[in-house]
Chain A
Amino acid sequence: MTRKRIVLTVLHRLAVLAYVAFALFPLFWLLKVSVTPTSLLYTEGIRLWPSQASLEHYRFVLTHSSFPTFFLNSTIVSGATAVIVTIVASLAGYAMSRFVFRGKYWIVGLLLLTQMFPLVMLIAPMFKMLSPLGLTNSLTGLVIVYVAFNVPFATFLMQSFFDGIPKDLEDAAMIDGATRFTAFRQIVLPLTLPGIAATLGFVFTAAWSELLFALMLISGNQATTFPVGLLSFVSKFSVDFGQMMAAGVLALIPACLFFLLIQRYLVQGLTAGAVKG
């Protein structure tokens, strides 16, 4: 029995290790390419680590390319999107969680529908709608589009966090003399901070990664976001993979940091939702 248990434990740890290796290896490769000097890129292409590592690509990307601008653009767009989505989705998620009202099922259906249809279908009409408003080629336009795309899932996520907070607390606050909105702000929201963090991080990561709409709506350097900028390495004359990967690693840093901070709350939020069914 104990022997069997030991074998099982070892197998379990090995399996976990294998998964971690599988998850990390591509990221490791990204890093490896980014520190390989251009001269060794092809000759040592399949070595696990170049005989000579250098930060030349990083230096170039940070000083001689438009990447600092792209970085800034992406930060502005993703940050603004995350904040707006979280505020708006908190309100709607709260309504979904706390009120029983006619039309609630229609709203849920509408939110689900938006998860169903091919977003590529919106590219053309969106372009036609935004360009007369001067919102193509502008960060504001991108923020508006990303907010709309992310709001449905964020609403469901926030709802499941609110579901985990006892209704008695607002009842008590309202009897203590608060309006519902005051109770929402002073009692419920502070208790939902993990949920708010999870939603912020989730939306930030999603906006940070979005490619297709940015590609379609943005065409000038001054409003280019990171993903589009990265792809421009490919279409340029000489493809410098080392620089591209260095830029990629830089792009990864904020997304991964955010994600590492919030992933535990994501599981929590979904658990709270799952308990309620």
Chain B
Amino acid sequence: MASITIQSITKTFGTVPVLNDIDLSIADGEFVVLVGPSGCGKSTLLRMIAGLEDITAGEIRIDDRRINEVAPKDRDIAMVFQSYALYPHMTVADNMSYSLKLRKTAREKITDAIGAAAGKLGLDPLLERRPKALSGGQRQRVAMGRAIVRHPKAFLFDEPLSNLDARLREQMRAEIKRLHKSIGATSVYVTHDQIEAMTLADRIVAMHGGIIQQVGNPLDLYDRPANLFVAGFIGSPAMNFVEGHCRAGAIETDDGSKIAVPDGVHLKDGQAVTVGVRPEHVRIVAGPEAGSYAARVDLVEPTGFGTIVHVRLLGQDLKIYTLERGAAEVGQPLHIALDGARLHIFDRETTNRIG
């Protein structure tokens, strides 16, 4: 097990900057998820930790050893790829033992290690098969098995669940979490799926445009997103954003409606802000009350457990998430209220959180 320290890492492909001055330290045994949209640099950062991309500037250390110049094979890390990257011409057992054979591990030890890993992952009946004869989920398991037989210093995961169907993905997600609990190895996990990030991470690193936007535990990011990007990226259905200006102690939206400024938030008069409110923090109320808005239902999306109701309000498409079935029908007028304590206010110019 080991800690990973990333210091002022910069990466450019030719003249195109991909990562800009990244700092991050990952503690021993921690599960860190790098999340962001495609092209944000998360995979590049992971591949730099693995040694598959060279480092333009900065330093990466595993424990206290600088590894910038260390070849991937000497870094003692394991990686699970999105494509699984199983060796097609080798059996499952050979796939799992390849790294041990390269390290000239004694034969009995290899057998033991494979037996243990196969047991953990339920691969025993598949050991003599080739990858071609496995289902997607089984391949995924073999890829995991190949990583854990080695007892590496750290595990790297590059979107390992993206090629699975929804149900299997959920199942494997839980399995990865369980595995991490039992092994406790330092893990860096890259995904574009914010649910995976939320469920798996000890700490989430949200990235965008080659820059770290926010680092924190999952609920922190959900409750107090540091900027508009994180607010919009984390949470599903996504947060509603309403643009407005501060006028006379309240926020006046572009269509003239007013939103009360939450307690403890200080705005300058005339300041351009974006108000964020999660769909689950918008309530449908029985009748007009203080601070409620009248609106007409535009669209209803039942998700089974809850319902997403779209209304035209405050000059845009506002989503409401409600657990009450049949709360609204298309075309129906209704009144809604925002949960004042759970509003997120962002400066529109800097996009940073004000309160």
Contact = CB atoms under 8 A, between A and B. Distances in A.
B57 to A, nearest CB: 19
Contact of A177 (B81, B87, B103): B103
Interface string A149-184: 000000000000000001011011111111100100
A168 B81 contact: yes
B214 interface: no
Interface in A159-212: 166, 168-169, 171-179, 182, 187, 190-191
Interface string B272-304: 000000000000000000000000000000000
B2 interface: no
A175 B72 contact: yes
B168 interface: no
B71 A175 contact: no
Contact of B87 (A169, A174, A175, A182): A169
Contacts of B77: 175
B85 A169 contact: yes
A179 B73 CA distance: 7
A182 B99 CA distance: 12
Contacts of A182: 102
Contacts of A168: 81-83, 85
B79 interface: yes
Contacts of A191: 88-89
Contacts of A169: 85, 87
A187 B87 contact: yes
A156 to B, nearest CB: 24
Contacts of A171: 47, 50, 52, 72, 79, 81, 85
B102 A177 contact: yes
B142 to A, nearest CB: 12
A174 to B, nearest CB: 4
Interface string B56-82: 000000000000000111010111011
Contacts, number: 56
Q: Could you say which interface size class chain B belongs to?
A: 20 to 34
Q: Could you say which interface size class chain A belongs to?
A: 10 to 19
B42 interface: no
Contacts of B50: 171, 175
Contact of B73 (A175, A187, A190): A175
Interface in B70-114: 71-73, 75, 77-79, 81-83, 85, 87-89, 98-99, 102-103
In terms of DSSP, what is the predominant structure of the interface of chain A? helix
A173 B81 contact: no
A252 B71 CA distance: 51
B318 to A, nearest CB: 43
Contacts of A178: 73, 102
A153 to B, nearest CB: 27
B245 interface: no
A191 B89 CA distance: 7
A175 B79 contact: yes
B226 to A, nearest CB: 33
A173 B99 CA distance: 8
B146 interface: yes
Contacts of A175: 50-52, 72-73, 75, 77-79
A169 B150 CA distance: 18
Nearest to B77: A175
Contacts of A190: 89
Nearest to A168: B85
B99 A176 contact: yes
Given A171-B52, A191-B88, A191-B89, A176 B73 contact: yes
A172 B81 contact: yes
B52 A177 contact: no
Nearest to A170: B85
25 contacts: A166-B85, A168-B83, A168-B85, A169-B85, A171-B79, A171-B81, A172-B79, A172-B81, A172-B87, A172-B146, A173-B87, A173-B98, A174-B51, A174-B71, A175-B51, A175-B52, A175-B72, A175-B73, A176-B78, A176-B146, A177-B73, A177-B103, A179-B71, A179-B73, A182-B102
